[in-house]
Amino acid sequence: MTRRAFWIGLLLVPLNVYWVIVAELRWYIVLTLNPLFVTPVFYLFVLAGLNSALLRFRPRWAFTKPELVSIYIMLVLSCTVATHDFIINLMSSMTWPRWQASPSNNWEATLFPHLPKWLYVWDKELLGGALKGSSSLYTWPILRMWAAPLAFWSIFIFSIGWTMLCFAVILRKAWVDQTRLAFPIVRLPIVLTDGATESSPLRHWPLWAGFAVAAALDILNGLHEWYPSMPLLQTRANPLIFPTPPWHTTAPLFTTWYPFAIGLAYLVPLDVSFSCWFFYLFMKAQSVIGYQLGYGDVPDFPYVSEQGMGAWYAFSFFILYSSRSYLAGVLKAAWRNDRTQDVGEAMSYRGAVAGMAAGMAVFGGFWYAAGMSPVWVVVVLATYLLLSMAITRARAEAGGQHTVWDLEPMRMFRLFDSRSIGPGTLATGFMSHWYWRLNRSHPMPSQLEAMKLAQDQGLSLRGLAGPMMAAFALASVSGMWACLHVFYQHGALAKCQGFANWTNIEMWDGLANALGAGFKSEAGRWGAIGASSALVVVLSWLRTRYAGFPFHPLGYCIGPGLIWLWCPFFVAWLVKLLVLRYGGLKSYRRSLPFFLGLVLGDYVTGAVWALIGVYGNVPAYGIFH
């Protein structure tokens, strides 16, 4: 990585963070909730265009491919922090307990004794400016109130980024060099960093045709937001409502036609994309059939969350078991400090193993200090590592959207009697919901994809770890500042359309119920976990025995969470099936640039609308939700 690329990337990170935070927090224009983030693609698109001009008029000033990749990677890492599913959730949750406590809910007596005082803000008067707006963050009492808890949370956040980076280094060779997984998410960045070479899709009309289709839709629909008399070609969520039993149990059910989602799903292998939309509808069918069989009054039936737990756990253990020889070799090389085994890696295997152990110690020590019992600290840490590995593998193999609700403490608690868990562990488990929720911006998949992209585009992995963590750390600080700046300027509960009310309700109302009424272990939930685990094992076994078996266990893991994206998966699967069946692989390769163009056009136009909203301080069109 050149110094120029590093400093440009570092300069762009705060700008990118501010853009994303204001767009998502103030206006709820979503930019980071899909596997391929919008703003890094936009920056790369602009830099690629600038580079074409520089190559013609000032060749010595032009960026090299490794430099473009370096800047893109740093921006991607910043988006894993500055996002609705991470820093906005955290900052929203820190304001809620003190502000919402009242005599009617009695939180001061029931919740507050179990919350670590050092992780939250407690001065209700100083919080008023954040919740109501039209105030200033930049006074000493307010800054002092936020400084200590944000410093503690920053240590935890950095431990997550560092641990995941070390884990990605350990797994990289197995998944990139040996297994040669597809990594569909890096396809578009490779096209943009390749520039306008003769073989690049940027030189051919199908990509720009797809770009034009997506851009035209976004421009038309964006103008409709401002001028309702103009036509609307709806691509965002449209509810399907079936009011009569048993079909009413399918709610919520949406159809969407996002161009970017169709384009990304077109990159997914056929069996995975088929399995994703099939298992989403399979879950809906369980609700309908269960209602007919008399289970309509059973809470949480058909236990979708518990099925997800079993599926992801089984998939994680399968990956771990199949990688046992490789991981043993890495540990052996780390113990002996055998540098012949880690040539070209972002860090040595000894450094990665030791660094991962240190990150795990900080992770576990943080939650133990917050009040979680040692047993649950071990369970939560092990679960987070397993889920990280599974999500990363899902992205590397299929590239599909992952919306994972299930493997988090507050959901796992429901498998046991709340009295046996203890109030301190209950409180810390629910408190951690902010970073577990949905896992759409999890850092580890982006880190491994960054290594894959860097390797493919000629950037040495040596020296990459430092800039990646620098971007991650700078984005953490910038994201916290940007959230507070927006809070005090516009008011979290006044004008911030993306303030995470839903996350707070799930966390704090759930904790109040757990500490009050409590819950007990239910056989049905355990049965769902066992059945879903068995199904993943059976699907994996059938795929090894029968060529062309259509159901992929990844689809069962990913599919049930595709609330907004099952329809684009279906469309992409159907089109790809027809193209391959009647045109063959050659026709598929010819059609691929069009679908990459759909993604690029949707992202670039969506980014422009977001810029208008952020810097014009006006509502603007969002391409998602």
Q: Is residue 109 part of a domain?
A: no
> What pLDDT, on a 0 to 100 scale, did the predictor assign at position 35?
86
> What pLDDT, on a 0 to 100 scale, did the predictor assign at position 1?
81
Q: Is residue 116 part of a domain?
A: no
Q: Which helix (H) or strand (E) holds 294?
A: none
Q: Is residue 496 part of a domain?
A: yes
Q: How many residues does the chain have?
A: 625
> What pLDDT, on a 0 to 100 scale, did the predictor assign at position 56?
87
Q: Is residue 123 part of a domain?
A: no
Q: Is residue 170 part of a domain?
A: yes
> What pLDDT, on a 0 to 100 scale, did the predictor assign at position 196?
58
> Which parts of 346-397 are beta strand (E)?
none
> What pLDDT, on a 0 to 100 scale, did the predictor assign at position 434?
96
> What pLDDT, on a 0 to 100 scale, did the predictor assign at position 161?
97
Query: What is the rounded CA–CA span in Å between residue 303 and residue 429?
Result: 20
What is residue 63's DSSP assignment?
A: P
- Please count the structural domains in the chain: 1
Query: What is the rounded CA–CA span in Å between residue 358 and residue 4?
Result: 32
Q: Is residue 491 part of a domain?
A: yes
> What pLDDT, on a 0 to 100 scale, did the predictor assign at position 625?
82
Q: Is residue 122 part of a domain?
A: no
Q: Is residue 21 part of a domain?
A: yes
Instruction: Chunk the chain into consecutive blocks of 10 residues (it has 625) and report each block's average pLDDT, rounded to whole numbers.
Output: 93 97 95 92 94 89 93 97 94 96 94 96 95 95 97 97 97 93 92 74 88 97 94 93 92 95 93 94 96 91 94 95 94 92 93 97 97 97 96 86 83 94 96 92 94 92 94 97 97 95 95 94 95 95 89 92 93 97 94 96 97 92 91
> What pLDDT, on a 0 to 100 scale, did the predictor assign at position 441?
87
Using CA atoms, how far residue 521 sits from 51, 373, 423, in Å, is 60, 19, 17
Expressed as residue numbers, the domain containing 273 is: 3-98+129-616
Query: What is the rounded CA–CA span in Å between residue 487 and residue 93?
Result: 13
User: Is there a contact between 307 and 531 (Cβ–Cβ < 8 Å)?
Assistant: yes
Query: What is the rounded CA–CA span in Å between residue 201 and residue 191?
Result: 7
> What pLDDT, on a 0 to 100 scale, did the predictor assign at position 438?
85
pTM of the full structure: 0.95
Query: What is the rounded CA–CA span in Å between residue 625 and residue 608?
Result: 17
